[in-house]
Each structure stands twice: as structure tokens, then as C-alpha cells.
Structure 1
């Protein structure tokens, strides 16, 4: 069996994140390549000296990030498309560093919303407005999927193949930060989203930038203050 997985073992105190980091580092160093088949779960457990729950948690995260794919009765493979989206691998290394993930999301979204203000079409604007209307119609529901759709439409309206990988990483970062929100503020969400929508409708990149920054700064403060309260 290939011994590349044996490098230095795994620091068990950091559990699945260390397994995830180890596999991603093998990928980024070229020791693992797209299409490569990973050893079986039992073999990985033996090589990395971790339990099955720890390994499965790491593999689940890698699958969510679309770095690996599982084929029934065939095994687990490095995704053929990972080379076209290196941002996924970089995000994987910091997925549990919440401040960094939020900052990455802010950097990406500010650039995307600025370009969207120049390029978004009427259909995109209508779909954005629909997400806002649906949140307003059902303010007491878990509208996380509508929030993600709002940001996805803005990102994809840039219509730039070079940043496609960034958009996938953005949506993963959004899903991660959204999972940390236990209490929603629909009135504030609607107010912020509406300000972004109106700036896009006016084709005003500067206003769209500032409206998005105001929104994401609020989200960052909300998530980080919650995490600090939960820290030991």
C-alpha cells in the first residue's frame, strides 16, 4: 500500500480536521492527483491511527467540499474536477477557522457584487427580488436556503468562467457560516437584502459594495459574538 498516508501520523487531539488537512496537503503537494482512489476506510484508519468516527467525519467534510466522491462498490476517489477549483482545497484547510472563513466570504462577495451591478440582467434581478419576497412572506421559517439563493444569484450573474471555482467556494463558505446562525433576524435580513437589490437595480457598483459590506459586517459580528459566548 502506498505509504504517502503514513507521513508523521495524525495528532489525535485535533481529530477529523487533522485527517482532512493531511489528505488536502497530499493533494496540494501532488502526491494525490485527480482520479486517484483512496485506500479503504480500514486501511486509512490503520495508516492515520484514527477511529472510524473521526475518519468518517473528515471524509464527509471532503465530500461536502466536493474534493472526493464516493462510488458505490468502487471506492472513494479524488474528484476529477478539483484541479479546476483549487479554492475548495484551500477552504478545506481552514473550514473550522470561522473568522478566516467569514473574511474570505466578505472578500469574495464584495468583488462579485460590484461586478454584478454592471452585468446582472433583468431576470437575475427578478429572481433576487423573489427571494426577498419569500422571506418576507414567511419570516418565522428557517430561510437559510433563500439567503443562500440570494447570494448565489448575485455571484453567478457575474458570468465569468475564471471565477466559477470561487463561486463554489463562496457557497461552501456561506453554508458553513449559515450553519452557525441559531437565531435569525428576518426584518434585518430583508432590509439588508433590499438595499443590495436596489443598488443592483440602479446598476450602482459603489452602492452595491457598501450595502453588501454593511450586511456581511452584521453577519460577522453576529456569528463571532455567538462563538465567543460559547468558547470555554
Structure 2
């Protein structure tokens, strides 16, 4: 897959350069989960920048779930993303993509909760058709991004509040980009991950069908967290398969 063509969200800062460099090192395997990163002072010297700039880059890496800090000890790698991650989008844009999951979770979890109680029979059928279309697309080896987006759009409409539709539209660009990356990584992964994507969508659909708003909200949150995990941790999704099946 070619790199996703995107425009920089803003002018790149020095902290962006450090963020991208460390992310590239992690994805390339120079650091593994649990490895300690160079100190702020060492990074400051390496990049010829002030320590506050280094601190800003490390803070963003921490917020994005890529590293964690131990007071008085230093920063450590939290997860090891797929080596292919930076093939799909440049490192400068990945932080924006990862952070887009935070508003998505707030928005879509509540949208699906309302959709489960307000949906019409026609809307249930539309949601079910989008799941079936996604299943067929993935079975044919296609990415399924259009079908996946149709599923989330249908749920937003079923909430019967135009603000949910408008807000999801505002997030369209990063949502489509993260879907591209997540579905592409899933296509390269074991078949269990592709089957699991369909299972996650199907459970949300079933909860909407039975008008169980709390269950629908829980499954949507789980689904979005798993999509985020697909970008951050190459091993997370397969290791978590059994926990999803037990829920």
C-alpha cells in the first residue's frame, strides 16, 4: 500500500522532529518494549535543542501511549508498533491520528448508546447491511474502509441528533486515515484479527438491534480501543483475542 497522502496539520516544530525520530527508532526495532530511552540531557545534546523542547516531545509520546516515565529514573518504551506503521503515514502525522481516537471514543460511544434506543427498523437493517458488506470486502482481500465508514456513519444517523453526524464529519480526515492504517495492518495480520474486526462490528449491531444501549456503548468503546491498539502495539491484538471472546 502506498503512503496515505496527507497534508501536515501544522508547521513542524523542533519537538515534532524529536517525536518522529524516536517513533521511527521504536518502529525500526532499535528499542523494544521496556527499553530505557536516552535521558533528556542526552537527547538535548544529540538534537542540539533545549530540554523543554525534548520534554515536549517525550510528553507527546507519553500521551500517545508509546512511552511511559518513571520519576527520577527516565522514560521507557511502552509498546512496539508494527514496523510497517511509518510506511502508511509519516511520523509527523501519526500523533494526530492516534489522538483522534480520544474525541471519537467520546462521540461514538454516546452516539451508539442513543442509536440503540432511537433507531428505526430501517436503520437497524442499514447497519446490518454495512457489517455484511464489510465482511464480504475483507473476505475478498479488500481493505473495506468504505464499508467500515458506512457502519459508523449509519450509527451516527440512527442517534437522531444531527450534531453527532456533523461532528463525525468534522473528524472525517483522521478517521479515514486511521481506518486505512488499521485495516491494512489487519489485512497483513493473522486471519483471527480480520475475523475479529467483523465480530466487533457484529456485537455492536446486535446490541443496537436489541435496544441495549449500555452494551452497545461498551462494545463500541472496546472496538475503538482495539483499533487504537492496532496502531500502537504489533502484538496486542492477537494476545487479547481470548479476553474479547470471554466478555
Q: Does residue 1:106 correspond to 2:105, yes or no?
A: yes
In structure 1, list runs of 5 or more residues that go unmatched: 1-14, 21-93, 227-232
SS in 2 for 1:159: coil
Instruction: Give, in whole Å, the separation in 1 of the partners of 2:152 and 2:164.
Output: 15
Shift in Å at residue 207 of structure 1?
0.6
In structure 2, list runs of 5 or more residues that go unmatched: 1-6, 13-92, 187-192, 235-247
Cα 1:111–1:191 change in 2 (3 A) is same
Match of 2:224 among 179, 199, 216: 216
Which residues of 2 match residues 88-103 of structure 1 at below 5 A?
96-103=95-102
More displaced stretch, 151-160 vs 131-140: 131-140
Q: Tell me the number of residue pairs that the alignment of Structure 1 and Structure 2 aligns.
A: 140
SS in 2 for 1:141: coil
Cα 1:172–1:16 change in 2 (3 A) is closer
Cα 1:173–1:166 change in 2 (3 A) is same
Shift in Å at residue 157 of structure 1?
1.3
* Deviation digits for residues 204-227 of structure 1 (CA, Å, limit 9, x no counterpart): 11010111111111111111225x
Larger RCO (alpha carbons 8 Å, 6+ apart): 2
**Structure 1 equivalent of residue 135 of structure 2:** 136
* Deviation digits for residues 147-176 of structure 1 (CA, Å, limit 9, x no counterpart): 110011001111213444212124333212
Shift in Å at residue 102 of structure 1?
1.3
Report if aligned partners of 1:95, 1:101 keep a CA contact under 8 Å in 2: no
Q: CA RMSD in A?
A: 2.5
Q: TM-score, normalised by structure 2?
A: 0.51
**Structure 2 equivalent of residue 145 of structure 1:** 146
Match of 1:18 among 5, 10, 31: 10
SS in 1 for 2:233: helix
Shift in Å at residue 183 of structure 1?
2.2
